[in-house]
Structure 1
Amino acid sequence: MSGSHAAVVLAAGGSTRLGRPKQLLTREGETLVHRAARLALASGASRVLVVVGAQADDVARAVSDLTVECVVNAQWRTGLAGSVRIAAEALATHAETTLFVTCDQPALGVAHLLTLLDASRRAPSGSAATRFGDRVGIPAVVAPTMLHAALAVQGDRGLRDVLNAADAGVIGCDAPDLGVDLDTPADVALAISRGWLDP
């Protein structure tokens, strides 16, 4: 399946609260960064960028067998926004939508990515995102105008403010399991108990 959307895997974080790189945790023997990049490719993306930062060499090595481009966020300590900006700069001439995924949602499957892409085609804004309570967030599909707006984001907010702006017109798609992300050892234990991570 070939699509015209691009995809970005946000994999630059330092996993400070967890104490080890979440990108390199495994599910069925596959690192989470490899899984996220593989799912992005499986969504039909024409181009997949993996933004690396902390443990950049190890993370890049983990996806070296996939047809992806690694871009380095040397300022990864300043938060997620820097990675979003680097992706937006790399995709400045990309005229179609961009799918953003992270590698700390071990329950992610390709079906949800396809749901988001389908919803983005129906959204007046051309954008769709995953619903978490009364907010939306990543995984998300953003239109070129919204990606351009992301060039102004700062700190650890990433795309959140852009996606949740009152006039954004983003379609929210439910995926309750994606609320489990891997910030703490307790999160890891929960994911293991649900079969989303290797013990």
Structure 2
Amino acid sequence: MKTGIIILAAGSSSRLGRPKQLLDYKGKTLLQTVIDEALKTNCQPVIVVLGANAKEIASQHQNNQVSFVINEDWENGMASSIVAGLSTMIKNNSEIESIIIAVADQAFIKMSNINNLIEKQKETGKNIIASTYAETIGTPVLFRKDYFEALLSLKGAEGAKNILKQHLQDLETVVFEQGGIDIDTETDYNNLISQQ
């Protein structure tokens, strides 16, 4: 199963007041942490969707194993970034059978979290495999190509969660214990670095 990864990193971090993609964690940026874990897997290609502060972020993450896509409509919400990443993925990789959507601020993501999604899909035959944490389901999440059309139709700030809720019969989950820890505020970041 040919699987690509889309890392969503287009937001402006308005509550934080500075680009969270560039926050330092264990000697590298949050975004670099996610990129590195994605590149440890067998998934190809890895696409990073940028928007706010795109030039600054891209300049600090030069890597010929990763493609950067600029979402000019990033202010319209996460859906536009999913559409930008997936449409680029499909256009350049017609053999892609599934994608994994990840986000740039889950500092605790590991290669194993990504591989667990793929293993669970093979084991269950379900077409959506989501991570579960903090009594919710979310990213990283795997979608088989059956759902590409629905993903490309997303609008606004909704992200892909509506698709998950509408297709529970075709969904399985894997546990990502620290997946609920993301960075939206200075307090979140201070809590993160205090755990190093």
Fold in common (TM above 0.5): yes
What pairs up with 1:147-166 in 2 under 5 angstroms?
A: 147-166=148-167
Taking the aligned partners of 2:22 and 2:95, their CA distance within structure 1 comes to 29
Q: Which letter maps to 1:151?
A: L
**Structure 1 residue runs without a partner (length 5+):** none
Q: CA RMSD in A?
A: 1.6
Match of 1:141 in 2: 142
What fraction of aligned residue pairs are identical, expressed as a percent?
Answer: 27
Q: Which amino acid aligns with 2:7?
A: V
Determine helix, strand or coil for the equivalent of 2:132: strand
The equivalent of 1:78 in structure 2 is 76
Counterpart CA distance in 2 for 1:71 and 1:83 is: 9
1:122 CA displacement: 2.4
Runs ≥4 residues deviating over 3 A: 132-135
Q: Distance in 1 between matches of 2:191 and 2:122?
A: 34
| Residue 134 of structure 1: how far off its partner (Å) | 4.7
Alignment of 1:29-68 (within 5 A): 29-68=27-66
In the alignment, the residues of structure 2 paired with residue 123 and residue 163 of structure 1 have an alpha-carbon distance, to the nearest angstrom, of 16
SS of the residue 1:181 aligns to: coil
Aligned length: 193
Q: Does 1:10 align with 2:8?
A: yes
| TM-score calculated relative to the size of structure 1 | 0.90
Unmatched runs of 5 consecutive residues or more in structure 2? none
Scaled by the length of structure 2, the TM-score of the pair is 0.91
> By how many angstroms is 1:168 displaced?
4.9
Give distance in 1, aligned partners of 2:124 and 2:36: 26
Task: From the superposition, tell whether residues 48 and 168 of structure 1 become closer, same or farther in structure 2 (CA, over 3 Å).
Answer: farther
Compared CA separation, residues 146 and 134, structure 1 to 2 (3 A) = farther
Q: 1:179 to 1:167 in 2, by over 3 A?
A: closer
The Cα shift of 1:4 comes to 2.3
User: Which of 77, 87, 90 is matched with 1:89 structurally?
Assistant: 87
The reply on whether 1:101 has 2:99 as its aligned counterpart is no
Deviation at 1:156, TM superposition (A): 1.4
How far does the alpha carbon of each residue in 1:131-182 deviate from its partner, in whole angstroms, 9 at most, with x for none? 1355321111111121221111111121111122244511111112110111
